[in-house]
Chain A
C-alpha cells in the first residue's frame, strides 16, 4: 500500500500530531484534568512530577497538568479568533489591492506598510494598554499586527492570478468583479492563506503568552501559560521546574504550528506561485 504524499512529509506529520494532541487536550480538558484548576494542596507545594501530579505542582500546590491543559483552551481560543479575523481582513485587502491595482493598490499597500512598521510586541502592548485585557481585546491587538502578512501574500498571488487565461476568459464572458474575485481568484489563494494561518497560530500563541508573561494578559487566576511561566520566575532560583515546564509547553505548541505550516507549504507549494512572479 502506498503512503499518501502528505504522510511522507515529516514536518507535516510531527506538527500535525502535536497540534492534534493539543486540540484534544484543550477540548477534553474538563475530563482530562486530574485536579481542579485552582484547587490548592499546601502539603504538596512545588512537588516534582509524580503519579498524583503528572507535571508537579506550583507554589500553592495547584496541579500543573490541569492548569496547563486549561491554559491550552485560552491560547487556542485567542489564536483561532485572531488568525480567522486577521486572515479575513488581510485577504480582503490583498485581493482588492492585487485585483484593482492603481490607486487602490497604492493606498492599501501603504497602509499595510505602516502597520508592518511597528514592532509587534510594542503595538500589541500599546493596544492592550488602552483597551484593557480580555480575550477580545487581546485578539484585536494580535490582529492589528498580523493581518499584514495575509495582505502582502494574497496581493502578490492575486497579481499573478489576474493575468491567467482562465481569469481573462471569465472577464471576457462578462463575469462581474465580485464573481471573478471570489469564485476564480480566491480559491486559488487558499493554499498560501492556510500556510500563513498555521504559522500565524504559532505567532498568536507567542504574543498572547508574552502579554500574559508581562502581566497584561487575562487576569489571574486564569491559568494562561504566560502567567504560569511569569509566576514561576519568582521561585526560579530554587524551583525552576515550574517555569521550565510552562515555557516548554509554549515552545512545543509553537513548534507544532511551525512544523505544520512548513509541511503544508511543501504540500501546497506556494513557491510555485512565487516562481510565477508573485514576489514582485
Chain B
C-alpha cells in the first residue's frame, strides 16, 4: 500500500506542473498588450507601465514562467490588480465557504443518488424505476443555475420556508456553538446551506443514481446474492449488507470525479444564492479581468480537485486490493 501511495503522490507532481503551465498560459492568451487590456481604456500610460513591471511583461515568457514557478514554490500566488492584496490571502478568506458548500452538496448527492439508484434497481421495470430514471434524466439535463432559481422561487419566495440568500455561521463554528448549548446557530447554518447545496447536488445525484442502478443490477445477479437469499436472509439485509456494499465500489471513483463538477457548479450557485465563496470571487475577478486573481483561483480549484482525486484513489485502493496490486 505504501508503494502505491508513493507512486500516486509522485504522479501528482507532473500534474501540478502541467496545471501551473496552463494557468500561466492564460496570460499569453490575452490579445495585444495584456497590461493595457487588463486595466481597460481609461488607464494612464504610467498605470500601464507599472502593471507591465508588476507582471514582468518586459521579460520573455520562459523567464516569466520560471519566475511564476519560483513564486508559487514560496506559496505566493501574486497580488490582485484591483484589490491590492495578496491573491492567496483573498482566496484564503473565501475557500472555506466553497468547500463547505461542495462537501454538503456531495453528501446530499450521494445520499439521494444511492437511495434512488437502489430503489430503481430493486424494483427494476416498475413505476418507481421509470420515475426515478426519468427524474435522473431531468437532473442531468437541468442547468444548475435554473434549478437554483426554481428552488429559491418555491421555497424562499413562495413558501417562505428557507432563506433565499446568504450564509449562516461557518459549519465548524456552528457545530461548536451547537455543542456548547446554542443549537439555533447550527440550525441557521443548515437552513442557509440547504437550498444552494440541493441545487448544486441535483446533477451529481442524477448521475450517481444511474450508476448505482446499473451497478446494483449487475451485483444482484451475482452468485453470492443468490447464496444469501438461499441462507434465508431477508431482502433488505441482502440488498444493503451484501449487494450495496459491492455495488458502491465503482461508484466511489465517480463520486470523487463529481467533486470537480461541484466546484465548477459552485461558481454559478454562489452567484444565485449570494454565497460568499470562491465562486462569487471568480465572478468579480472575471468581471474586472483581474488576471493574477483569476490565475490563483483557477489553480486553487484545479489543485483541490487533484487532491480530492488522490484521496479517493487512496480510499479506493484501501477498500479494493486489486487496485494497488494490479
Interface residues of A (CB under 8 A from B): 110-111, 113-115, 117-123, 125-132, 202, 206, 209-210, 213-216, 229, 233, 236-237, 240, 243-244, 247, 250-252, 254-255, 258-259
Contacts and interface: CB of A to CB of B under 8 A. Distances in A.
Give chain B's interface secondary structure class.
helix
Nearest to A140: B29
A117 B27 CA distance: 19
Nearest to A112: B18
Interchain residue pairs A-B with the least CB separation, the first 9: A119-B264, A114-B18, A247-B146, A121-B264, A255-B141, A254-B141, A129-B286, A119-B263, A130-B29
Contacts of B297: 122, 126
Given A118-B301, A130-B27, A213 B268 contact: yes
Nearest to A215: B287
Contacts of A250: 143, 146
A130 B291 contact: yes
Given A117-B306, A210-B268, A236-B149, A126 B143 contact: no
Contacts of B140: 254, 258
Given A121-B265, A127-B29, A254 B301 contact: no
A193 B289 CA distance: 36
Nearest to A247: B146
Given A121-B264, A236-B153, A229 B22 contact: no
A240 B153 contact: yes
A78 to B, nearest CB: 15
Give the size range of B's interface with the partner.
35 or more
B234 to A, nearest CB: 33
A114 B299 CA distance: 11
A233 to B, nearest CB: 6
B63 interface: no
B19 interface: yes
Contacts of A255: 137-138, 141
A163 to B, nearest CB: 19
Given A127-B29, A131-B31, A255-B138, A122 B143 contact: no
B312 to A, nearest CB: 13
B141 A130 contact: no
Interface string B144-155: 111001100100
Given A117-B15, A126-B26, A132-B31, A251 B143 contact: yes
Given A126-B294, A130-B27, A111 B18 contact: yes
Given A122-B267, A214-B286, A243-B149, 9 more contacts: A111-B18, A117-B15, A118-B305, A122-B282, A206-B143, A210-B143, A214-B283, A244-B150, A254-B142
B37 to A, nearest CB: 8
B228 interface: no
Interface of B: 14-15, 18-19, 21-22, 26-27, 29-31, 137-138, 140-146, 149-150, 153, 157, 260-261, 263-265, 267-268, 271-272, 282-283, 285-287, 289, 291, 294-295, 297-298, 301-302, 305-306, 309
Contacts of B272: 233
A22 B145 CA distance: 22
Nearest to A225: B143
A110 B297 CA distance: 22
Contacts, number: 129
B141 A258 contact: yes
A273 B93 CA distance: 47
B69 to A, nearest CB: 15
Contacts of A251: 138, 141-143, 146
Contacts of B29: 127, 130-131
Given A123-B298, A236-B153, A114 B305 contact: no
A111 B14 CA distance: 9
Contacts of B264: 119-122
A213 B272 CA distance: 10
Given A121-B264, A237-B157, A247 B143 contact: yes
Contacts of A126: 26, 286, 294-295, 297-298
Nearest to A257: B141
A63 B38 CA distance: 37
B34 to A, nearest CB: 8
Contacts of B260: 117, 119
A225 to B, nearest CB: 9
B22 A214 contact: no
A66 B149 CA distance: 24
A110 B15 contact: yes
A11 to B, nearest CB: 9
Contacts of B282: 122, 125
A262 B135 CA distance: 15
B242 to A, nearest CB: 25
A130 B26 contact: yes
A179 to B, nearest CB: 33
Contacts of A130: 26-27, 29-30, 289, 291, 294
Contacts of B301: 118-119, 122
Find the residue from A114, A202, A255 having the highest chain B CB count within 10 A.
A114
B296 to A, nearest CB: 11
Contact of B18 (A110, A123, A214): A110
Contacts of B30: 130-131
Contacts of B285: 129
B27 to A, nearest CB: 7
A220 to B, nearest CB: 15
Contacts of A243: 146, 149
Contacts of B141: 202, 251-252, 254-255, 258
